[in-house]
Amino acid sequence: MSTIEQNLQDVRAQITTAACNCGRSPEEVTLLAVSKTKPVTAIEEAIAAGQYAFGENYVQEGVDKIHYFADNAPTANLEWHFIGPLQSNKSRLVAENFAWCHTVDRLKVAQRLSAQRPPDMPALNVLIQVNISDEQSKSGIALAELPALAASINELPNLHLRGLMAIPAPETDYQRQLAVFEQMNQAFLTLKTSYPQMDTLSMGMTDDMAAAIAAGSTLVRIGTAIFGSRA
Ligand SMILES: *Cc1c(COP(=O)(O)O)cnc(C)c1O
């Protein structure tokens, strides 16, 4: 068995354990394999092990991989998520190539994504990124700004508002991880009363996935535990 195949089995088992420990069904948690900086051969191994949803952080690298697999594995039915910081001058490539964008945090970028989404593609699934704990970071909006941005995005014709995403500041203590993720889940549940189509809470990475799942995550973004550490 390849290492990536073994790693995927281990990560799926960790998801199952974390979900069962808090009385959730493992099927409620989607595994997004974060393949940034990794070669297509690594992605091919993951596909062979049954993984189909992949997350990329850098627009051009992601687009190159999407084109590679469209040419070389057209029947694989892969689902590509853009999870990196998005500058408005790169929005067209995201709108034209990805199925999801997790990092919408400005109306201007959302408007561009909607305008640039090709009419023959389904609406782009978007998540609003919330800056939940890391005041230094320029990515994500404050919780207080969430209702207004959600209302505006919900009006855009070629976007489908699916939920929220967060990258909390690194924290090793489980209880403190949990406290931050629970704030996100609260914001998600509150917003969902206005937008019942919201079904995705993207939170949890290699080092905090158990706490994220305990707090209600529906999608964990896992890189290192699947593909190994990055250079
Ligand atoms: C790199 C990255 C991940 C994966 O992180 P790991 O710790 O390697 O699992 C998840 N989400 C985002 C936004 C990332 O940039």
3-state DSSP call for residue 14?
helix
The class level of CATH for 3-222 reads: alpha beta
Residue 70: band (very low, low, confident or very high) from pLDDT cuts 50, 70, 90: very high
pTM for this model (two decimals): 0.97
Ligand 1 centroid from CA 119, angstroms: 31
Does residue 167 have its Cβ closer than 6 Å to ligand 1?
yes
The DSSP result for 56-109, as a single string, is ESSHHHHHHHHHHHHHH-TTS--EEEE-S---GGGHHHHHHH-SEEEEE--HHH
**Least confident among 99-108, 129-138, 150-159:** 129-138
Ligand 1 centroid from CA 171, angstroms: 14
Ligand 1 centroid from CA 111, angstroms: 26
Q: What is the pLDDT of residue 125?
A: 99
Residue 136: band (very low, low, confident or very high) from pLDDT cuts 50, 70, 90: confident
Does residue 38 have its Cβ closer than 6 Å to ligand 1?
no
Does residue 14 have its Cβ closer than 6 Å to ligand 1?
no
Give the relative orientation of helices 40-48 and 3-21 as an angle to the nearest 10 degrees.
60
Q: What is the pLDDT of residue 157?
A: 98
Q: Ligand 1 atom closest to Cα of 227?
A: 8
Q: Ligand 1 atom closest to Cα of 209?
A: 9
Q: Ligand 1 atom closest to Cα of 34?
A: 4
Does residue 85 have its Cβ closer than 6 Å to ligand 1?
no
- 22-35: average pLDDT: 98
Q: From atom 13 of ligand 1, which residue's Cα is the shortest distance away? A: 83
Residues 168 and 208: their CA atoms lie apart, in Å, by 10
Q: What is the pLDDT of residue 1?
A: 72
Residue 2: band (very low, low, confident or very high) from pLDDT cuts 50, 70, 90: confident
Residues 141-166 pLDDT 10s: 999 999 999 999 999 999 999 999 99
Residues 160-184 pLDDT 10s: 999 999 999 999 999 999 999 999 9
Tokens of 209: 């996935």
Residue 231: band (very low, low, confident or very high) from pLDDT cuts 50, 70, 90: confident
Q: In Å, how far are 51, 62, 132, 224 from 206, measured between CA atoms?
A: 16, 20, 18, 6
Average pLDDT over the chain reads 96
Ligand 1 centroid from CA 12, angstroms: 16
The DSSP result for 208-230, as a single string, is THHHHHHTT-SEEEESHHHH---
Q: Ligand 1 atom closest to Cα of 225?
A: 9
Ligand 1 centroid from CA 36, angstroms: 9
Ligand 1 centroid from CA 226, angstroms: 11
Q: What is the pLDDT of residue 20?
A: 98
Does residue 217 have its Cβ closer than 6 Å to ligand 1?
no
Ligand 1 centroid from CA 231, angstroms: 14
